[in-house]
Structure 1
Amino acid sequence: MSLLPGRAWRRAALLLPAAVTAAHIGPAATWLPGVRQTLFPGLAGTGGRQHVALTFDDGPDPAATPLFLDALDRLEVRATFFVLGENAVRHPALLRETVRRGHELAVHGWTHDRPWRPAPGRDAEEVARTVRALHDLCGHRPHWYRPPYGILTSGRWLAARRAGLRTVLWSAWGRDWTPDATPASVRARVAADLRGGGTVLLHDSDRYAAPGCWRSALGALPALVTGCRESGLTVGPLREHGHPRASAPSGGRDPAPAG
Structure 2
Amino acid sequence: MPPTSGRNWRKAALLLPVGVAAAHIGPAATWLPGVRLLLFPGLSGTGRGRHVALTFDDGPDPEATPYFLDALDDVGVRATFFVLGENVVRHPALARETARRGHELAVHGWTHDRPWRPAPVRDAEQVARTVRAVHDICGHRPQWYRPPYGILTSGRWLAARRAGLRTVLWSAWGRDWTADATPASVRTLVAADLRGGGTVLLHDSDRLAAPGCWRSALGALPALVEGCREAGLAVGPLRDHRPFPAE
Unpaired segments ≥5 residues, structure 2: none
Residue of structure 1 in register with 2:163 after alignment: 163
Task: Give the distance between the partners of 2:242 and 2:162, measured in 1 at CA.
Answer: 22
Residue 2 (structure 1) shift:
1.4
Give the percent of matched residue pairs that are identical in Structure 1 and Structure 2: 84
Confirm or deny that 1:76 pairs with 2:83.
Answer: no
How many residue pairs get aligned? The number is 246
Residue of structure 2 in register with 1:119 after alignment: 119
Contact 1:55 1:82 in 2 (8 A): yes
Two-structure CA RMSD over aligned residues (Å): 1.0
CA displacement 1:133-173 (0-9 Å, x = unmatched): 10010110000000000000000000000000000000000
Contact 2:42 2:245 in 1 (8 A): no
SS in 2 for 1:202: strand
Contact 2:41 2:244 in 1 (8 A): no
Residue of structure 1 in register with 2:154 after alignment: 154
Residue of structure 1 in register with 2:4 after alignment: 4
Residue 56 (structure 1) shift:
0.1
Contact 1:36 1:43 in 2 (8 A): yes
Amino acid at match of 1:18: V
TM-score norm. by structure 2 comes to 0.98
Task: Give the distance between the partners of 2:52 and 2:26, measured in 1 at CA.
Answer: 29
Residue of structure 2 in register with 1:29 after alignment: 29
Task: Give the distance between the partners of 1:171 and 1:50, measured in 2 at CA.
Answer: 15
Contact 1:146 1:167 in 2 (8 A): yes
Task: Give the distance between the partners of 1:243 and 1:120, measured in 2 at CA.
Answer: 26
Task: Give the distance between the partners of 1:144 and 1:218, measured in 2 at CA.
Answer: 23
CA displacement 1:194-216 (0-9 Å, x = unmatched): 00000000000000000000000
Amino acid at match of 1:3: P
CA displacement 1:100-156 (0-9 Å, x = unmatched): 100000000000000000000000000000000100101100000000000000000
Task: Give the distance between the partners of 1:46 and 1:28, measured in 2 at CA.
Answer: 18
Alignment of 1:39-54 (within 5 A): 39-54=39-54
CA distance 1:143–1:245, change in 2 (3 Å): farther
Residue of structure 2 in register with 1:181 after alignment: 181
Runs of 4 or more above 4 Å deviation: none
Alignment of 1:99-114 (within 5 A): 99-114=99-114
TM-score norm. by structure 1 comes to 0.94
Contact 1:143 1:245 in 2 (8 A): no
Unpaired segments ≥5 residues, structure 1: 247-259
Confirm or deny that 1:139 pairs with 2:121.
Answer: no
Task: Give the distance between the partners of 1:33 and 1:25, measured in 2 at CA.
Answer: 17
